[in-house]
Each structure stands twice: as structure tokens, then as C-alpha cells.
Amino acid sequence: MILFENSSFYLETKNTSYVMRVLDNKVLSNAYYGKKIGRCNLNAFSLIRGIGYSPSIALEGKNVSPLMIPWEMPTYGQGNFGLPGISVIGADNRFVNELSYESYEIINGKPSIKGMPSFDTNVEDVQTLKITLRDKALNYRVILYYSVFEKEDVITRRTEIVNMTDEQILIKSASSAAIEFQSKKFQMTTLKGSWARERWIDTYDLHQGVNSVESRRGSSSHQLNPFMALSEKNTTEHMGDVYGFALVYSADFKISVEVNEVDSVRVIAGINPENFCWRLQAGESFETPECVLTYSADGFNGMSHNFHNLCRNHLGKCADKNVKHPIVINNWEATYFNFNDEKIIEFIKACKGLGIDTMVLDDGWFGHRDNDDSSLGDWFIDEKKFPNGLEKVIETCKSQGMNFGIWFEPEMISRDSDLFRAHPDWCIHTDLREPVESRTQLVLDYSRQEVVDYIFEVMDDFLSKNDISYVKWDMNRNITDNGSNWLGEYQGEFSHRNILGVYDLEKRLTEAHPDVFFEGCAGGGGRVDFGILYYMPQIWTSDDTDSIERLRIQYGTSLVYPPSTMSAHISAVPNHQTGRITPFKSRNDVAQMCNFGYELNVAKLPQKEIEQIPKQVEEHRGLEPLIQDGDYYRLLNPFTGKQCAWELVSEDKKKAYVMLAAVNIAGNDTSYYVKPRGLNPEFIYQINDTDIIADGETIMNVGIPVVEPLGEYETRTFYLTKI
């Protein structure tokens, strides 16, 4: 619900309030964000005052310091020394901006953003507030959009900048959201990592100055995810105040948290201004990507539930209840590049009767691709490997009761490719420098429409001519030579224009082939964000398939993204990334909480493991309602303890699934309890493989007893069923 009373805006969700005030000199300020409160006038609660050795401005009948004002969309200048949310360079070439409140509008529903993904599905019950600010001196307007998702306890924000002049202006920074908390002591939580070690949880105290999480790699990156949370010290998974921020964006981003000398905490989230500058012609407008804000009084798990529910209810393909996530087997770790049609057919035949839905043919099927040195961009069949095309392979899949899927890397190009020889200027490069290679490949310039159009035509033709039900869309390197010749002196537009081109291709292909299931991938988990998930309902969570490493990766990923968006496979041992040997059951149990599949050659498994596959598939089908719609709880933290445990609980609370894994073991180890969450206190549950029949209140408070400690890399699972 959105109301405007007594010069104040009240944005209310089921459990939260977001309040802004229009001060007497038309300054829009934040007054409160947190647990739901009454709609009283908050003027008397203000901390705004004058302080020593600081500029002052007239406000509310007194002289006050600008740094004491909780600006809703701050700019630089006029005594405001903090990070700006908006920075526009006008005709005077100065960076000083000043935004004043002009008007507002409340609308039902939620407008989409042109050319970009956003939470715009099933939004009949959503309201949107549009607040217009204006810089009178430079004559541009800023429109702030606030969409209130009442049931999910979420507010999404974005910004539109409109040039009202007759001349070009330059946008130097354009944040999607800004908010300021007064007199707060926070810790900051981010998701850090690298390739094969994505989204490890990192929590630390804020310091005076700027604390930030960002990417300048052309993608949201393996290293830092476009997410940040602020929490009070000693906040746990289930208790304490947490504010979560996440961007619906897949390119260069920055979320900054600035603490000033009076303990005000300013958050700025949006496109990374480091390599951004946008020319805005007379009458034109620029729209930022969307930012998600959520508050939870129930710790990090409460924050995660809000993110998860928003994603599953309102984000493009993730909100499509008709999408069925297939159980796949991928040939990559089984064969790498060493295959032909005969080997693939034998690979498929080995899966007969196992219940696997789809076989995915990974890298190496196109051009003359025998290693990663060639052929990216040449999306036609390698006739040496497949002299009769894919028809026989696809027919074999069908005869085994399976569908056929295939791997693409549409954003890349190899020097050794027909496409590069025909269009060497289509790769991202600058004339004065040799482009930097990574994995002996270059990146296509998707800021150029002719490149996007060409790749669409090739992929559309390929998918139309072949019976393909599944596409794994990969991106195996970052962008190093940021820029495009056609942009001339306006190279600061490149990164954003490039991701708009990627979104354009994803939109056109997914709409042209609505029955094809698309999975996102970027060297594994290098582009896990709400932007990609809008078009693709799941993402290959990491190239690291080791089940013990996956405990941390999947646990950290769940901070923002629901299990229904993650993909996890059982792989062979010794594991190809770590060399670790883990039990087949453990690999299964860790993968079961995600969208499940296999990354191995079935024919090379021991017979006793082959016999387990149909049971694993059946188990996953039983868990799918929990994975797709259930509530997820983190119970034991693999980053800080000897065990990891997580839980899925059905919407009606009648079923729950708990997975427990040993991260480390010790001699003569102790017994302990695992305490589930989210059960109905009054329901009576039976726990499989135990003698426990008890009410939910008892089980949650006493816990499930683990009498015999787990062995090395061992897992146990518990099914709780209402009786």
C-alpha cells in the first residue's frame, strides 16, 4: 500500500514500513525503513541539526548541516560531500547537482523497463509510486520508481533521468536506489569468491568511509555478486534486523555503503560509475536497472525468504509455473572434447531405463572444435564428428525416452573461426591495442545491433531445424577491452549497451522458442543474478561439482537465490576440480536440493551405483514441489562449523526435508541435535528412519538426534511427514 499524507510518503508491505518526507525546501528525505509502524508524523523523530565545522543550509526553520540530512537521492555539491546517487554534467561542465521535489503519482501495477529485465510478472496487486525531482539549474528531471510487493515484504526501485534541455547532457552516475540510515552501526555481508569458489559468505564491520561490492568485468562476476546486506551485530539466521539489496543486472555494477563522521550510513546501488558515462540528447530519457530492497526482523533466513518468494512469484521465467525443470545428464566431464557421434550414441544408450529426462551435448560439437582454441561463432555441426548431422543422435535419445539438449556460447568468438575471418571487427577491441585473449577466445560486441541480429538468426535457425528441448547458454570469460569503435568518443556507454544487446538476444530467442528450456552459465557461476534469471529459470551454480565444495557454494547462493534457480549434478570421483573422493550417496544428497542431474559417464560407474540412479531420480521427483515452492532454511553453517545442514518445508507445512553433511570430522566425535525450522508447532510429524513421532514444537526445540557422528564426507537425510 502507498499513501501520501502530511508531506510524507508511506510505503507499506505486510511487515515493513518505508517512509519519506518532503521537507520545506523541497528536499526529499528518508525518514524510516524497517519493521512496520503507524502512519504518524515523523517530524519530531528527526536527527537533522547543525554541526560544527560543516556547511549549513536553511531547513525547517533552522540552519542545518547537509550531512545530517538523510537524502533520498543524493547529489554532489551544495555542501553534500557524500557519494552521489545521480551525477549529471551540464553545459557548465560542473559536477554540482541539486534535486528538488516536484510531484508524485501513485499507479496500480508496475511498468516494465524498456530493454531490461525486471520483476514485472503477476503484478496485479502491486502499486508503484513515481516521484519526480528536478534540477532547475541544469534542467533535467529524475523520476524515482518505487514498486511495493506487499506479500513479499519487498520494494523494488529504479530511476529515470529525463533531459529537459535543448542540448546534450552527460550522465556520469545513475544509481537505481539510494537510502540513508541515521545513527546506525551495521555489519556488511557480501558474497565473494572466484571461479569454482563462488558466493562464499563474507561478513565484516563497516568502517568510516566507503565500503563497496562491485564488478568491472562486463558481467556480474564470480568474484562479487550484485548483492549486499546490512545487519546489526549478533544477527543470526533467524533473529535480528537485516536489510538486503540486490540488483536485477548482469554487467558492471556497484553497491556502495558510505559511513560518515556522524554515523550516517548511505547506500548507493546501481550501474558501476567507474567506466560509465551516458550522453543524453534533448528530450531523451535513461532508465536504470532495477534494485530490490527488503527488510527482515527475522534474521538472514527471513531476508532470504523475501528474495526467494519475489523471484518465484514475479521474475519472468522463474515465475512461470508451467516450466518443468528436466533431470539432465551432461557429457562434459565424461568426454570433454574427445567424442564423435558413435561415442555420444553409446553415452546415451548407457542411460536406458534410468529415468533421466535429457541428454545435453556440451562444448565441441561445432566448427572444427577439438579443443578450446577455435570455432566459437561457427554454430554449425562439425561434420567430422557428426557426418550425418545430429539426426541419429537425437533419434537415439528419443528411442531411450530422453530429450536432446545442446551447449552454446553465443557471446564469444574465436580468431580461428569463419565468423572472425568474415567479421574481424565484430569482436570487442580498440584500434590502438591488440585485444586480450582469455581461454584463447574473444568477446563479440553486443553493443552492435548487427552482431545481435546475426547470432539470433544463426541460433534461431539451428533450434528450428533440430529437435532440441534444452539449451545451456555459457559465457566463459570476462570483458577486457571495454569499448566499441562505433561509439566514438562515448566509450562510457559500452558496457551498458553491451548487456542490453545480450538481454535483447535472450528475449528474442526465449520468445521464439518457448518450449526450449534455457539454462544460464558463465564459466559456472560467473553470472548468477536476477537479470539472467528473468530469461532462464535456472543457472549452473558452479563448475565445481565437488559435493563438499558445493555445500558452501549452494549455502551462500541461497542467501539471495532460491533452490529452484540453482543447478547441481552428481559427478564422478575423484572429482575433476578438487580430486576429492566422496560417497555416491553424499553427492546425491547435496545435489538433491537444487535442480538435479548428472555430469559423468554412466557406463563407467560400478553396477551398484548405476542401480541407485532410478531411485535418485524418483527421490528428486518427490522433492520437486519442495524445491520449486517450499521454504528454505539454513540450519548449520559450513563456513563456521563441522557440519552443514539445510531444510526444505512445504507451503502447507505437511512435509519437510533435512540434509545433513559432515564438513570436517574429529576422533571420538560428539553426538548432537539438528533443529529444523518452519514446521507447524501443532502438527504431529513422523521422521523417517527414526522412532520419532512428535509435534512440530517439540521437534524444532529439541531437534533431531544425531547419535552416531557422521563419517568423513558422509551425509544423512531426514523426511518429516505430517501424520
Q: For residue 449, what pLDDT band results from cuts at 50, 70 and 90?
A: very high
- pLDDT at position 533 is 98
- pLDDT at position 430 is 84
- pLDDT at position 57 is 86
- pLDDT at position 589 is 97
- pLDDT at position 91 is 80
pLDDT at 239 over 90: yes
Q: For residue 51, what pLDDT band results from cuts at 50, 70 and 90?
A: confident
Q: What is the pLDDT of residues 325-353, one digit of tens each?
A: 999 999 999 999 999 999 999 999 999 99
Could you tell me if 143 and 50 are in contact, meaning their C-beta atoms sit under 8 angstroms apart? no
Is 474 assigned a catalytic role? yes
Q: How many residues does the chain have?
A: 723
Percent share of the chain, pLDDT over 70: 100
- pLDDT at position 95 is 86
The residue from 341, 357, 362, 474 that is catalytic is 474
Q: What is the pLDDT of residues 625-642, one digit of tens each?
A: 999 999 999 999 999 999
Q: For residue 46, what pLDDT band results from cuts at 50, 70 and 90?
A: confident
d(CA 232, CA 188): 9
- The CATH number assigned to the domain with range 643-722 reads 2.60.40.1180
Q: What is the pLDDT of residues 642-681, one digit of tens each?
A: 999 999 999 999 999 999 999 988 888 889 999 999 999 9
The residue from 543, 546, 589, 631 that is catalytic is 543
Domain boundaries, the chain: 2-318, 643-722
pLDDT, mean of residues 126-131: 98
Mean residue pLDDT of the chain comes to: 95
- pLDDT at position 251 is 97
Q: Is 216 exposed, middle or buried (0-12, 13-18, 19+ CB in 10 A)?
A: middle
- The CATH number assigned to the domain with range 2-318 reads 2.70.98.60
* pTM, two decimal places: 0.97
Q: For residue 52, what pLDDT band results from cuts at 50, 70 and 90?
A: confident
- pLDDT at position 129 is 98
d(CA 675, CA 647): 10
pLDDT, mean of residues 489-497: 94
CA distances from 180 to 3, 83, 263 (A): 21, 11, 10
Q: Which three cell numbers stand for residue 608?
A: 551398484
**Helix 584-591 to helix 547-557 angle, to the nearest 10 degrees?**
10
Q: What is the dihedral of CA 557, 558, 563, 568, to 10 degrees?
A: 30
Q: For residue 3, what pLDDT band results from cuts at 50, 70 and 90?
A: very high
Q: What is the pLDDT of residues 550-559, one digit of tens each?
A: 999 999 999 9
Q: Which three cell numbers stand for residue 683?
A: 502438527
- pLDDT at position 192 is 98
d(CA 195, CA 634): 24
pLDDT at 535 over 90: yes
Q: Is 336 exposed, middle or buried (0-12, 13-18, 19+ CB in 10 A)?
A: middle
pLDDT at 184 over 90: no
pLDDT at 434 over 90: no
- pLDDT at position 53 is 87
d(CA 180, CA 258): 9
Say which residue, 431 or 169, is predicted with more confidence.
Answer: 169
- pLDDT at position 62 is 86
Q: For residue 47, what pLDDT band results from cuts at 50, 70 and 90?
A: confident
- pLDDT at position 168 is 93
- pLDDT at position 60 is 78
